Amino acid sequence: MDNKYKSIIRTRFYFICSMFLALGIIVGINWQNTWFPFVLCFIIFIGLLLRQSDKIFLFLLSSLIFTSGWFISSVRNNEIEQNLSLADSLHGKTISFSGIVHSVKETEYGWRTDCEILFLSDNALKGDFNMSVFGKGPIPNEGDTLLSKGEMKKLVGKRNPGDFDFRSHFSRQGNYGRLFIDKKHESIIHQGNLPFIISWIRSTQTFVRNSLNNATDPKTAGLLTALLLGDKSTIDENMKLDFANTGVIHVLAVSGLHVGYILIILTIFASIMRIPWGWNRVVIILGLFAFCALTGGKPSVVRASIMAGLYVISPIVNRPGNIWNIIGFAACLLLAYDPLYIMGLGFILSFSAVISIIYFYGLFEKLLPETINPTHIQNSFLKNTLSLFLVSLSAQIGTLPITAAFFHKIPIISLVANVIIVPIIGVIVVVGFMIIALSFSPILSVLAGNVAWLLQTIISWFAQFFSSFSFSSIPVEQIVLFDVALYSLMILGVFLIFQSKYRG
C-alpha cells in the first residue's frame, strides 16, 4: 500500500470508522434486519482471521464496522417497535401500572412525571420502558415508586408533511406513551431514595439555579441556566424567538464553548492544588464527565467532553492528538452507546458544525489572500474579528442544509450576529461561573449578577436588533436531496474559483 494512503488511514482511522458505522446505522434504520447482518458479521470476522494482505484486511474491517452498525441499529429499532406496538394495543384502556419517578413538574391541572415503568397490566416489557404520567393530588418525588391506574394514550406521529414527529422523537428517548391517572383511582406512593450520583447531580443543579436566581433578575438567570445547565425551560420566550430569527439559537445549547471554559477552570484548579502530573489530567477528565452529568448528558456536551478528554490524556499515553481521529472516536462511542443518536438534531448539528469548522476554516487559511487572511494580519482586533467571522461562516456552510431542513429557514444575518453575540456569550458564561463561585458572599455574587444583567441586556438588544431586519432569514418550505446536491456543487465551485485565482 502506498505511503500516502497509509498516512491518510493512520491520521483518519477513527474518523473513517465512524463514517462506515454511521452508514451501517442508516441502512439499519431504513432496512431493519437482525439475522442477516449478524451472520454477515460472523463471516467477515472469519475472513479477517484469514486475510492475506493489508488491502483485504482494510476492506473486511470496513465491512465489519458497517454491518455492526446495521446490526445494532436494527436491534434498537426492533426494541422500539415492540414497545410502541404494546403501547398502541393498550390505547384508550384503563390499566394498572407501577413505576419509578424520574422527574416531576407541576402543571396547570396537577402534575406530570416521567416514570420508568416496572409493571404494566401483566405485559412483558423489553428494555427501558418510560411513560409520561399525569395526575392530581399528592405530588410524588423523584425516586419514589408510584402505583395507580390510568387511561393509556399512544404517541401520535406526523399528521402533515413537515410536522414534528413526536412519536419518533419520544420513542428514541425511551418514552412510549402517556398515562392519565383517573381521580377515581387512588395512587399509592412509596418513598424511595435516589442513587448517590443522581442525588448529587440534582442537588448541584438546584444549588446552581438558586445561586443564579439569588444573584440576578429572572431573565438573566434563565439565560444563564440555559448556558450553564442546558435547561431552557426558564429562558424568556421573546429572547429565544429573537435568537432563532437571528440565527444564533445555537449559543443556547451547551457545547464546545462551555466545555472549553470548564477545561480552563479545571486546569487552573489542578495547577493551584499542585496535583502531580498525570493525576492532574485524571482530575480534569473526571471534572469533564461531572459537567456532562450536570447538563443531562446531551450529545453535543458528550462529544466536546470526549474530544477535550482525549486531548488531555494524549500526552500520558505518548500519542499525538489528531483532530480527525478524536472526532471519529467521539462519534463511534456515542453511536455505539445509542445508534439512534444519529437521528437527533443535537448530534447532527454538533458534529456537522465542528467538522465544517475544521475543514473549511483550514481551506480559508490556505486560499484567502494575505490582505484578508487572519494568519497574516498583525492587528489583534482585526485578526480575532476576522477569525470569528470565518469560524461562523465555516460552521454555517456545513450546517445550512440541516437548519433549512429542520427549521425551514435560512439565516442570513447570523454571519454578522455571531461575530458580535458569541464573544459576549463567552463573557457571560464566565460571569455565570463567577456567580456560582462567589455564592458564599451575597454582596460579591450580586455584583457579578449585575454584570451578567448588563451583558444579557446587550445580548438581547443585539438579538432583537438583528431579528428586526426583514432579510434576517429566508423561509424555505422543503429541502430535498437535489437541493443539497446543488448546494454542495455551488460550494465546491466557489472554492475551486478561489483556488484557481489565488493559488493557481
- For domain 90-190, say whether CATH 2.40.50 is its number: yes
Phi and psi, residue 444, nearest 5° = -70, -40
Q: How far is CA 347 from CA 24, 294, 350, 419, 453, in A?
A: 17, 18, 5, 24, 31
Which runs of E-coded beta strand occur in 8-135? 94-107, 110-120, 130-135
What span, in angstroms and rounded, lies between the C-alpha atoms of 101 and 119? Answer: 13
R_g of the chain computed on alpha carbons = 25
Contact 290, 269 (CB under 8 A): no
What span, in angstroms and rounded, lies between the C-alpha atoms of 416 and 427? Answer: 18
Q: What is the pLDDT of residues 52-102, one digit of tens each?
A: 777 788 888 899 999 999 999 999 999 999 989 988 988 988 888 888 998
What span, in angstroms and rounded, lies between the C-alpha atoms of 497 and 485? Answer: 18
Start-to-end C-alpha separation, the chain: 30
CA neighbor of 228 nearest in space, from 54, 428, 449, 489: 428
CA neighbor of 472 nearest in space, from 296, 138, 242, 267: 242
CA neighbor of 25 nearest in space, from 175, 177, 172, 176: 172
Q: Where are the alpha helices (DSSP H) in 90-172?
A: 166-172
Partners of residue 148 on adjacent β-strands: 97
State the burial class of residue 110 (Cβ atoms within 10 Å of its Cβ: 0-12, 13-18, 19+).
middle
Q: Is 247 helix (H, G, I), strand (E, B) or coil?
A: coil
Predicted local confidence at residue 447, as pLDDT: 95
Q: pTM for this structure?
A: 0.83
Which residues fall within 8 angstroms of residue 344, CB to CB, at 6 or more apart? 172, 299
What span, in angstroms and rounded, lies between the C-alpha atoms of 141 and 189? Answer: 9
What span, in angstroms and rounded, lies between the C-alpha atoms of 376 and 172? Answer: 48
What span, in angstroms and rounded, lies between the C-alpha atoms of 184 and 92? Answer: 16
Chain center to CA of 282: 24
Predicted local confidence at residue 319, as pLDDT: 67
Q: Where are the alpha helices (DSSP H) in 230-314?
A: 237-246, 256-272, 279-294, 299-313
Q: How far is CA 233 from CA 16, 177, 259, 286, 334, in A?
A: 38, 22, 21, 28, 26
Q: What angle do CA 303, 401, 460 make, to 5 degrees?
A: 70
pLDDT in tens, the chain (504 residues): 556 666 667 778 889 999 999 999 999 998 988 899 999 999 988 888 877 777 788 888 899 999 999 999 999 999 999 989 988 988 988 888 888 998 888 888 889 999 988 888 877 676 788 999 998 888 888 889 999 998 999 988 777 766 678 888 888 888 999 999 877 777 888 888 878 888 888 888 899 999 999 999 999 999 999 888 888 888 888 888 888 778 777 777 777 777 887 888 888 888 888 888 778 888 888 888 888 888 877 778 888 888 888 888 877 766 666 888 888 999 999 999 999 999 888 888 888 888 888 888 888 888 787 787 888 888 888 888 888 888 888 888 888 888 777 777 777 788 788 888 888 888 898 899 899 989 989 899 999 999 999 999 999 999 889 888 877 777 777 777 777 778 878 887 777 776 666 554
Partners of residue 145 on adjacent β-strands: 100, 190
Predicted local confidence at residue 347, as pLDDT: 86
Residue in this structure with the C-alpha cell 402517556, named with its chain if needed: 178
Predicted local confidence at residue 7, as pLDDT: 67
Q: How far is CA 169 from CA 63, 85, 242, in A?
A: 30, 16, 25
Q: Is 178 helix (H, G, I), strand (E, B) or coil?
A: strand
Contact 360, 394 (CB under 8 A): yes
Predicted local confidence at residue 399, as pLDDT: 83
Phi and psi, residue 415, nearest 5° = -60, -40
Q: Is 479 helix (H, G, I), strand (E, B) or coil?
A: coil
Q: How far is CA 110 from CA 52, 103, 115, 206, 222, in A?
A: 67, 14, 16, 22, 24
